[in-house]
Each structure stands twice: as C-alpha cells, then as structure tokens.
Structure 1
Amino acid sequence: MLYNLTITGRIKLLSTFQWPISMCLKLRIHVTTYTGDCVVNDNFGKYCPTTCGVADYLFRYTPDVTQNLDDMLGELERIGNLTRGAEEKVVFMRDTATLAQKSSQPDLYYKKSSSMLDDVVRFEKTIVTQEQQLFELQNFILSNERRMQDLKQLTRQLEQTCNVPCKDKVEIQPITGTDCQEIANKGASISGLYYVKPLKATEQFLVYCEIDSYGRGFTVLQRRKNGLLSFNQNWVPYKEGFGYLSPDDSTEFWLGLEKMHLLTNSVTLPYVLRIELVDWQGNKKYADYAMFRVGAELDKYRLTYGYYFGGDAGDAFNGFDFGDDASDMAYTIHNGMQFSTPDSDNDKYDGNCALQDSSGWWMNRCHAGNLNGRYYPGGRYTEKDAGAFDNGIIWVTWHDRWYSLKETTMKIIPLSRINTDGQQQSGVKNFGGL
C-alpha cells in the first residue's frame, strides 16, 4: 500500500526594487505497507508501519509553522518599506546635486578653491620642468668651468712663452764647412744648425750637427722622434728632403738623398754611418757601418758600405733568416740596393715593397731593417694592423718584425775621427763604443 502526503507552502514578496524574496516548504512522504511491530521514536511518538504517527506529528506542528511564516512575511514587508525610503533619499540627493551644478551662482569659495587646486597642479608641473632645466644648466656650467680651467692653463703657458724674447729667425751658427766634422775642427763646440757645402755641391745647405765634448762632429741624415712627420712620401720629397730642422733637435726630418750623395762622395776619406735606436722601454742600441756611401740619382741613390763596424743592435743590413724561406737572408740584404719609393719601384721584388710598406728605403725583397717605416705608438703591432705587411720602424736583429721602434737616428762622421774619443784610444773597433 502506498500513501502520498504533500504539504506545500510558498511565499513570494517583491519589494520596491523588485528584489525576489521567496520561501517554500514542500514535503512529500512516501510510506510503503509494512507488517511488524510498532517502533517507539522520540520525535514521532509511536512509529508504526502505517503513516498514522507521521501524520499526527505534522498536524501537531502545522499551526506553529504557519505562525512563523506569517511573522516572516510581516518582517519582509517592513524591510520593503525601509528600502523604498532609502531609494527616495537617494533620488532626492541626486536631484539636489544636479540642481546645484545647474545653479547660475555657484559657491564662490568652492570655485576659488577649485581654481587654486588647478594652479597648484600646474605650478608643480612647471617646477619639475624647471628643476630638469636647472640640472642640465648645472652640468653645462661644470663643463664650461673645466674648459675655462684648461684655457687658463693654456694662457699661463702662452704667457710664459711670450715672456721669452722673440727672435726674427731660427738661430743658425755662423761657422761653415764641408761637413759637421770640419765645422767642429774650426772651433764649433755646440750642437745646432749649420750650413755645409760639400766639395761637389754647387751651393750650401742646412744640416743639424751633433758636436760632442771630444770635438767630434756628426752630420745627422735622419731623425724619428714622435711620429708627427709622415715618411710615406714619393721620390721627389725623398730626393730633396722633407720635415723640419730645429736648433734644439726636437723635430723629425729626412735630409734628402741628393744631400746624402754629396756628403758621402765629395771626399776621399770614407764615412762611417751610425744608426742609433731607442725602443718604447727607453733602451738604446746602435749599429755602425764603415765606408758608407749613397750613389747618384742615375743609380737610384744606391746604398753601399764596406763592412759592419760593430754595435749592440746587430747587423740588420746584412739580412735576416725569418724562417719563412731558405732565401730569407739573401732576399733581405740591404748593401748594394737601390732606393725605392711608392711611386718609384727599384727593388728586387715582383711587387712594390715601398708601396706596400708606405715608405721609401733601400729595399730588396723586401727588408730586414727599415727606419722610415710607419710609426706605431707603443711599439707592438700585428699583421692585421699593417695589412699583412711588416711596415713598422724595424730593426729585426734587435726587435722582431712586429715591433716598431720609438726613435731612430742616422748620422755620419769621417773615418778619421774614430780615434778621437777623448782617451786617445786606437783601432777602428773603438768607434763602435762612441
């Protein structure tokens, strides 16, 4: 036997704002026929196989539930009334604000306050911009102050220079001769600029003479000191000479192949060529060559000497075995070579040694020593720096081909002055220790 008992209660309230509030109570109890003893239960009383106990329980509590639902309905109606009051207040406040905004005479103090706030914001932005501009101006001022300090230092140096009495021309010593040794023999005792006129020369020319305390006069042919003068010159400059002669020996120059020819071929007594070298660590070495001569222009100013006279720099003019080829020594001998420049190729190489090395020199195929090479500050350079060519100021019997010397000097003195060393020593070998 199946009994269906359904109790349904539903309450629904819509407030002023259409808020759904509902409460439902629905109970469906299905009881099947059951035979047996009744069971005592605390909630339902006697629970029997029939629905008598359940029904009695529900009927007993129905009035209380109905009363509770009525109370809840009244409470919800009160909440709905309060909600309508709040809505009316909000509408009133909105209308009041709109009316105030549309008023033709708003609150002056409020208007002034708003204007002041706008001004403050604008001034803040202006201040930030001006602070950035001030920062940039301060940096500019500091930079100018540093430049002013540099200019002041330069001004002081110029003032010191200007305090020295001016001279209309370079000071040239009055004594002349066929070379610097003859000038020293005539009584000259200070180094400086002198005019010389070799026997075969048609006119005198200016040279720098080194005169030491023993009365020896060296005629300087070449000077490298600081790299300020480019030795990448063509045939005519190398023939006539380039650079500047100075009384204090502070400048670089190449005296000129024609002058070297006149100096070394005008006397029967042969000259000794001294080559002086200085590296970037301040070390000094030299090499001497006896019976040094420079040929005529018709023979491309060919270099010849009798023999290596000595010195601690080694004999680079005799060639060097680089280890590249069995013919290295033969291909780098300088004795007997003609002079080459980038525009006048007189070497033994298929290419142009002077052109690839950017200098004029007595080239073979190509060289073991080149005092007219490119000036590399610091000394060390690489194949990449030089375009694969060892084109520095080189003397490989002292430093290797990838080291460019800092200072070089080429100067000559008659062989007759070898013994005049202040100690009356004899023997040509003594010249190597000058």
Structure 2
Amino acid sequence: MVILQVAISLFALCSLTSAQTRGDYSETCVPSDGFGKYCPTTCGVADYLQRYRPVVETDLDRLYDILEEITNLTKGTEEKVVYMRDSATHAKKSVSPDIYIKKSSNMLEDILRFERSIIEQESQIYELEQLLSANEKRMLQLKQMAIQLEQKCQQPCEDTVKIQPITGKDCQEIANRGARTSGLYFVKPAAAKEQFLVYCEIDSTGSGWTVLQRRRDGSVDFNKNWIQFKEGFGYLSPDDTTEYWLGNEKMHLLSTQSSIPYILRIEMVDWDGVRKHADYAMFKVGPEADMYRLTYAYYYGGDAGDAFDGFDFGDDPSDKFYTSHNGMQFSTSDKDNDKYQGNCAKQDGSGWWMNRCHAAHLNGKYYQGGRYTEKDAGQYGYDNGIIWATWHSRWYSMKETTMKMIPINRMSVTGQQANVKNFGGLGDI
C-alpha cells in the first residue's frame, strides 16, 4: 500500500509538470537500462513506475491472499485454544471427587508405612548403639588386660618350671632327706623303671604327703578313657593351683613298694568353705593285670565319714553293700569292671573304683555351686557329681578334693601326724 501511494503521488506530480520546460536536462546525464534513453527526471520515474505497476499490483494481491490466510490460521488457533480451555474446565467438573479421596488415602498409607519404617530403623539404631556401647566397654576391659599383661611381661621370665633337687622313692623319703618346701619333686618307687614327677606337701615337722589327685575349679575334664587314667592327665604345678590325676600305674608303684603300709587321706572342701577328711589305713592300688584294684584294711578316721564303706540311700536294702568301694577294680567308659549290668563309669561320666555304682566318686563332674539335679546330670540322670555321700547328699558336688598318701608311721592312733619313733617301733622308710 505504501508503494502504491508513492506511485500515485509521482504520477500526479508528472501531470502537473508536463507543460513546463525541461530544465532538469544536463549534458553529463548517463542513460541507464532502467529508464531507457532518459535521464531520471520526474516524469521518467513516473513512466518507470507506470510500467512496473501491474507487476507490483500482482505482488500486492498475492500478499493480500497470504495475509488473509495467516488471519484465518490465527483465528483457527484462537478457536482451538478456547476449545482446549473449555475441555479442561469440563474435564475438571466431570471428574468424581472419590478419585482424589482415594489418592489422598493412598498417600496417607504411604506416610504411615514410611513412619513405621522410620520407627523400626530408629529401634535398630538404638540396638546398634547399645551393642557399640557394650563393645566399647569390652574394648576398655581388653585394653586394661593388655596393660596388665604388658606389665607382667616386663617381669623376668623363668625358662622352666622349678623342680626341687632332692629325690626319693616317695615324698616322705624326700622329706627325710631334708626337704622342707612343698613343690615338684622327682620320685622313683622301688619297682619303677624310671623316675616321674609328683607334687609333695611337706610341712615343718618333716611329714611328706605324695599327692595323687587334685580337684580345684573344674578346669580339667575328668571324663577320660582307660589309657589316660593309667598314665595320668591334667597339670602339675609348683604352686599347687592346678588339677590332675597322677595315674593308676604310678599309684600302684607308690602304694605297693614298702613293707610299711600307707595311709590314704581324702580331703574335701564344700561350697561353704568347710573342710573335712577321711583316712584309710594300708591303702594299695593293684597292678593293671588286676585292673588297678583298690584295697585298704580299715577306716582310719576323719570327720567326713566312711563313704568308701557304702551308704544306705533308702532306695533298696542292698544299697550299702552295692555302693562300697573296698576291693573294687577300676572302671572307665571304655573298660567296664564294675558289678553293675550297665557301665557305671559311662553313666556317671568318669573313671573310678565302681561297684554298683558308688557312694563316693571324687572324679565326678564338676558342678559350680555344688547342688544339681537329675536333669542337670544329663542323658542318664544319675548322681554324677563329685560325691561323698556320708557328708553331703548324692545331689551335692564338692568344690575341692585331694587324694594323698603318707607312710602310716607318720600318723598317730588319733589320725594326727606323730613322731616316727612313737609308732610301734617302726623306723623311717
């Protein structure tokens, strides 16, 4: 439209100037292809525009058509937008509120589930914190133990266990030779092929006890087989703090070597700290060919009672006869030499001079606190503790026991240690 207005203005201007003298001619004018032979005067421009007007009008018509098409497209787009807006509003109005309620409910359930999960995780965190605290306490204890061990390790170490230099055929002979210190000594009984180690209790009066058995804290399991009871097991220590069985073969060699018989003393401590003992005169353990049979002449005395003679438990009139131990062979779980149709050593958990079965059993199972029940006794339910029935009941297990021997000429008639010269004229052995 602007081009058309310009063309009309130029055409009018040419009409007004057509009668005037052409004063715009110049000799320096250079003809151009656009205006033919004329220089570009006002009328020349008008002629040029007039000649190109049809082309311009055609272009303008085409531009009008394009503009109208664009206008139609814009209107269609506006109508589409309005339709989409109306559709969205209608969709919102037509949706049921239950859907949103259901979605809200699902969201609440998710929140509750997450809350439960958080509570469970907090509980786990608390347990882990408790465990961590316990571990920290344990670590502190271990550090303290490490410090104690380090201090102990700074002390000079002894390369070997201290063994006293004096030897003899038993601890009494060692004491007769001047030993006055209890500890570990080598003895060599008359029939022994080689010497072996024992613990000797030696007092200031010169009495020397050869220790055959120790029970102190349950640190050694006494449920052993025949060979182990024959050879001995446990640990000998110079400070006498360990548990052991010296061995049936060594007991045989020690108890049968002299014409002067031995006293067997059994010492016991219960869980109240009370100490009692029982002594048996002319104690002997036979050879392996006789299954290390236990024999003694008589009950020498003591305040623990004579459980080796059997005990009437009230179950059967023959209880006392069938629970005596004098003359019984040694039995283990793998070598049954008792008078019972079953295996007493297997049922009662350890080797001993079993009858049918026992009123005394110093090799029984160690029970902390002493008292136990048939249920505690395990599979067989028999009284398998460390028993001495003439002191405590069969359901009471001793805390500590000792079996030791000494020549009878070191004892008086009352059971107290006496001077050798006061016993029937028997001299030192």
TM-score, structure 1 as length reference = 0.67
The 5 A counterparts of 1:77-226 are 138-139=129-130, 141-226=132-217
Deviation per CA, 1:205-234: give whole Å up to 9, x if none.
000111112111100000000111111111
Residue matched to 2:375: 384
Query: What amino acid sits opposite 1:291 in the alignment?
Result: M
Deviation per CA, 1:291-318: give whole Å up to 9, x if none.
0000000000010001100000000001
Contact preservation (8 Å) 1:214, 1:421 = no
1:129 Cα deviation after fit: 11
Residue matched to 1:251: 242
Q: Distance in 2 between matches of 1:347 and 1:329?
A: 15
User: Closer, same or farther in 2 for the Cα pair 1:137/1:397, shift >3 Å?
Assistant: closer
User: Closer, same or farther in 2 for the Cα pair 1:133/1:353, shift >3 Å?
Assistant: closer
Select 2:356's aligned residue among 352, 365, 378.
365
Residue matched to 1:89: none
1:272 Cα deviation after fit: 0.2
Contact preservation (8 Å) 1:291, 1:305 = yes
Q: Distance in 1 between matches of 2:300 and 2:354?
A: 21
1:333 Cα deviation after fit: 1.2
- 1:232 paired with 2:198, answer no
Q: Distance in 1 between matches of 2:127 and 2:306?
A: 63
Query: What amino acid sits opposite 2:278 in the alignment?
Result: A
1:388 Cα deviation after fit: 2.4
Q: Distance in 1 between matches of 2:230 and 2:188?
A: 17
User: Closer, same or farther in 2 for the Cα pair 1:131/1:189, shift >3 Å?
Assistant: same
Query: What amino acid sits opposite 1:257 in the alignment?
Result: N
Query: What amino acid sits opposite 1:394 in the alignment?
Result: I
Residue matched to 2:294: 303
Query: What amino acid sits opposite 1:292 in the alignment?
Result: F
Deviates more, 1:255-264 or 1:373-382: 373-382
Residue matched to 2:343: 352
Contact preservation (8 Å) 2:410, 2:417 = no
1:145 Cα deviation after fit: 2.3
Secondary structure in structure 2 of the residue aligned to 1:340: coil
1:186 Cα deviation after fit: 1.1
Deviation per CA, 1:28-86: give whole Å up to 9, x if none.
xxxxxxxxxxxxxxxxxxxxxxxxxxxxxxxxxxxxxxxxxxxxxxxxxxxxxxxxxxx
User: Closer, same or farther in 2 for the Cα pair 1:375/1:137, shift >3 Å?
Assistant: closer
1:422 Cα deviation after fit: 7.5
Residue matched to 1:412: 405
The 5 A counterparts of 1:20-31 are none
Contact preservation (8 Å) 1:353, 1:366 = yes
Q: Distance in 2 between matches of 1:359 and 1:140?
A: 41
- 1:403 paired with 2:399, answer no
Query: What amino acid sits opposite 1:371 in the alignment?
Result: L
Q: Distance in 2 between matches of 1:269 and 1:167?
A: 39
Question: Number of residue pairs matched?
Answer: 313
* Structure 2: gaps spanning 5 or more residues: 1-84, 93-114, 424-429
Query: What amino acid sits opposite 2:401 in the alignment?
Result: T
* Structure 1: gaps spanning 5 or more residues: 1-93, 102-123, 429-434
User: Closer, same or farther in 2 for the Cα pair 1:358/1:130, shift >3 Å?
Assistant: closer
> Bigger radius of gyration, 1 or 2?
2
Contact preservation (8 Å) 2:307, 2:360 = yes
1:142 Cα deviation after fit: 2.5
Residue matched to 1:17: none
Q: Distance in 1 between matches of 2:221 and 2:163?
A: 25
1:184 Cα deviation after fit: 0.9
1:147 Cα deviation after fit: 2.0
Residue matched to 2:304: 313
Q: Distance in 2 between matches of 1:216 and 1:425?
A: 10
User: Closer, same or farther in 2 for the Cα pair 1:315/1:174, shift >3 Å?
Assistant: same
Q: Distance in 2 between matches of 1:152 and 1:275?
A: 43
Query: What amino acid sits opposite 1:347 in the alignment?
Result: D
User: Closer, same or farther in 2 for the Cα pair 1:252/1:139, shift >3 Å?
Assistant: same
User: Closer, same or farther in 2 for the Cα pair 1:318/1:132, shift >3 Å?
Assistant: closer
User: Closer, same or farther in 2 for the Cα pair 1:140/1:410, shift >3 Å?
Assistant: closer
Query: What amino acid sits opposite 1:368 in the alignment?
Result: A
Q: Distance in 1 between matches of 2:256 and 2:295?
A: 11
Residue matched to 1:292: 283
1:164 Cα deviation after fit: 2.4
Query: What amino acid sits opposite 1:388 in the alignment?
Result: G
Query: What amino acid sits opposite 2:195 in the alignment?
Result: Q
Residue matched to 1:327: 318
User: Closer, same or farther in 2 for the Cα pair 1:354/1:332, shift >3 Å?
Assistant: same
Deviation per CA, 1:375-414: give whole Å up to 9, x if none.
1111111112213211110000000111111110000001
1:135 Cα deviation after fit: 5.7
Contact preservation (8 Å) 1:319, 1:330 = yes
Structure with higher strand content: 1
Secondary structure in structure 1 of the residue aligned to 2:384: coil
Residue matched to 1:76: none
1:157 Cα deviation after fit: 2.1
Q: Distance in 2 between matches of 1:315 and 1:163?
A: 50
RMSD: 2.9
Residue matched to 1:343: 334
Q: Distance in 2 between matches of 1:175 and 1:278?
A: 31
Secondary structure in structure 2 of the residue aligned to 1:206: strand
Contact preservation (8 Å) 1:340, 1:354 = yes
1:137 Cα deviation after fit: 6.7
